């Protein structure tokens, strides 16, 4: 095993190959406060890439309800079991990663899901954390002890991919130009070590071709400066797509770097697995933080406080009075997937209070107002000669 630096764990870890961070790394940020589980992302991906025979239960993008849902079923519970005791000292992870728990015959700790685990992709959807039978509690207790939230997931295009580490055929590779992790379909023999190894269970077995398949981050779109389909189609506008800089050289004008490195608002999912996943999550602010700490590491409390603080100040103060940090945060959340182009840099514009997104060569791509405009329509619609009723 080689020694590599994992910035999410704030220490060196073991990996099967020498470190080789790509020149650019595809990354995404999902704001879990905004996901409505409409599954538009799921269907955008399904109809684009996995509508063939053998792909019936294959969801490169899925959306599950936490804490009960999971696809494949209980993937995260099993990951926690496999990792065993997980401890942090400050920002440093002192437990073992899936690589550090690896064995001589299998360099990555993992498990192979059963066929039945894929049979019900939406199991647990909209289920809350505990039974409502507790008499009267749901009416009397505020804040409510009952909660759930939606969790969209795709392949993380990890910096240290477990799938790649486990493949004896070297059929899985990570592209230098954008860090996207792909399976060479010619080399793959369907041994499924990658499926066993991936902590996120984001490699799937095609039952007809009998080889493995996974999310390709819509690389033809990425190559032409666009964002993936599941990002573009997101109804809730929860997704920011782009490139993350190397951890020792973040750029504060890059939306991804700004929210991850500068504001520490977007966090990796189960960083303790040790793969350095590149899809980041803005944690939901109304969920018990001990649960969030388990999922997103020790930065969860600070991220929730940052988000909540900004939104409270925005509610209580005129936007013009907010400082640049607050305005950038609100603006970037509004910017999200407002354009299907990859935003490489952004700027806050005062006094018009806009956020502008730019392409790689500095050309303007998108301009969004930080304050959402409101339009109130006339009560009587002249054109159609009807009254409009407010149904809310």
> Structure tokens of 159?
């910096």
Buried b (16+ CB within 10 A) or exposed e, 162-190: bbbbbbeeebbebbeebbbbbbeeeebee
Contact region for ligand SF4 (CB under 6 A) — 130-138, 152-160, 320-328, 363-371?
152-160
For residue 143, whether the previous peptide bond is cis, meaning omega lies within 30 degrees of 0, is yes
In which residue are the tokens 């996207």 written?
A: 180
Residue 275 near ligand SF4 by CB under 6 A? yes
Please give the torsion angle defined by the CA atoms of residues 213, 220, 276 and 127, in that order, rounded to the nearest 10 degrees: -60
Q: How far is the CB of 44 from ligand SF4 (least distance, A)?
A: 8
Cis check for the bond before 72: say yes or no (omega within 30 of 0). yes
CB of 163 to ligand SF4, least distance (A): 3
Stretch that binds ligand SF4, among 185-193, 234-242, 262-270, 366-374 (CB under 6 A): 234-242
Q: Check residue 58 for interaction with ligand SF4 (CB under 6 A).
A: no
Candidate ranges 84-92, 110-118, 149-157, 253-261; the one touching ligand SF4 (CB under 6 A): 149-157
* Binding window for ligand SF4 (CB under 6 A); candidates: 4-12, 118-126, 147-155, 321-329: 147-155
Query: Minimal CA–CA distance to 47: which of 200, 218, 211?
Result: 218
**Residue 244 makes contact with ligand SF4 by CB under 6 A:** no
Q: Which of residues 19, 119, 235, 252 is near ligand SF4 by CB under 6 A? A: 235
**Cα radius of gyration (the chain):** 22
- Nearer Cβ to ligand SF4 (214/344): 214
Q: Which residue is nearest to ligand SF4 (CB)?
A: 236
User: Residue from 5, 22, 40, 219 that binds ligand SF4 (CB under 6 A)?
Assistant: 40
Decide: is 123 part of the binding site for ligand SF4 (CB under 6 A).
no
275 vs 306 by CB, closer to ligand SF4: 275
Question: Would you state the structure tokens that stand for residue 318, as one six-digit string?
Answer: 């005129």
- What are 226-229's contacts with CB under 8 Å, separation 24+? 226/340, 226/341, 226/342, 227/337, 227/340, 227/341, 227/342, 228/154, 229/41, 229/44, 229/45, 229/48
What is the smallest separation between the CB atom of 347 and ligand SF4, expressed in angstroms? 26
Q: Do residues 162 and 44 touch, judged by C-beta distance below 8 A?
A: no
Stretch that binds ligand SF4, among 31-39, 93-101, 282-290, 380-388 (CB under 6 A): 31-39
**Nearest approach, Cβ of residue 158 and ligand SF4 (Å):** 3
How far apart (Å, rounded) are the C-alpha atoms in residues 327 and 52?
45
Residue with tokens 């000669």: 385
Nearer of residues 339 and 345 to ligand SF4, judged by Cβ = 339
Q: Which is nearer to ligand SF4, 182 or 300 (CB)?
A: 182
Which DSSP string do the residues of 13-40 spell out, in sequence order?
EEESS-----SSEEEEEEETTT-----H
Candidate list 45, 79, 158, 327; residue touching ligand SF4; CB under 6 A:
158
Q: Tokens in use for 178? A: 């954008």
Under the binding rule (CB under 6 A), the answer on residue 35 touching ligand SF4 is yes
CB 89 within 8 A of CB 139: no
Please, what is the minimum distance in Å from the beta carbon of residue 123 to ligand SF4? 16
Closer residue to ligand SF4, CB minimum distance, 38 or 285: 38
75 binds ligand SF4 (CB under 6 A): no
Our finding on whether 179 is near ligand SF4 (CB under 6 A) is no
- Pinpoint the alpha helices (H) of the chain: 40-49, 75-83, 137-140, 162-166, 193-197, 219-223, 229-232, 255-257, 289-296, 300-316, 324-335
**Binding-site ranges for ligand SF4 (CB under 6 A):** 35-41, 63, 150, 152, 155-158, 161-163, 181, 198, 200, 202-203, 214, 234-236, 238, 275
């Amino acid at each position: 095993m080689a020694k590599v630096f994992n910035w999410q764990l704030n220490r060196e870890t073991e990996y099967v190959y020498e470190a080789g961070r790509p020149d650019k790394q595809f990354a995404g940020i999902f704001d879990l406060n905004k996901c409505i589980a409409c599954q538009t992302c799921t269907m955008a991906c399904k109809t684009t890439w996995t509508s063939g025979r053998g792909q019936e239960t294959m969801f490169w993008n899925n959306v599950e309800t936490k804490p009960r849902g999971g696809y494949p079923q209980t993937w995260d519970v099993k990951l926690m079991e496999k990792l065993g005791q997980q401890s942090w000292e400050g920002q440093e992870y002192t437990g073992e990663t899936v690589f550090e728990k690896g064995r001589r015959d299998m360099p990555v700790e993992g498990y192979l899901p059963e066929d039945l685990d894929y049979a019900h992709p939406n199991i647990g959807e909209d289920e809350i954390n505990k039974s409502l039978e507790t008499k009267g509690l749901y009416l009397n207790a505020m804040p409510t002890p009952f909660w759930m939230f939606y969790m969209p997931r795709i392949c993380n295009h990890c910096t240290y991919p477990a799938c790649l580490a486990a493949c004896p055929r070297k059929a899985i590779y990570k592209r230098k130009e954008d860090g996207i992790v792909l399976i060479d379909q010619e080399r793959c023999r369907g041994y499924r070590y990658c499926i066993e190894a991936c902590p996120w269970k984001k490699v799937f077995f095609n039952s007809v071709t009998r080889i493995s398949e996974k999310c390709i981050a819509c690389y033809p779109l990425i190559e032409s400066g666009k964002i993936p389909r599941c990002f573009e189609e997101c109804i809730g506008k929860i997704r920011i797509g782009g490139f993350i800089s190397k951890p020792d050289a973040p750029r504060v004008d890059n939306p991804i770097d700004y929210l991850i490195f500068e504001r520490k608002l977007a966090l990796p999912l189960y960083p303790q697995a040790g793969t350095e996943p590149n899809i980041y999550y803005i944690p939901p602010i109304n969920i018990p933080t001990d649960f969030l700490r388990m999922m997103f590491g020790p930065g969860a409390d600070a991220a929730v406080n940052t988000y909540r603080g900004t939104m409270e100040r925005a509610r209580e103060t005129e936007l013009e009075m907010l400082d640049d940090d607050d305005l950038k945060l609100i603006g970037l959340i509004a910017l999200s997937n407002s354009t299907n182009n990859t935003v490489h840099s952004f700027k806050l514009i005062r006094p018009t209070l806009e956020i502008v997104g730019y392409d790689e060569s500095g050309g303007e791509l998108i301009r969004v107002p930080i304050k959402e405009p409101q339009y109130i329509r006339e009560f009587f619609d002249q054109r159609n000669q009807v009254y409009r009723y407010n149904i809310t």
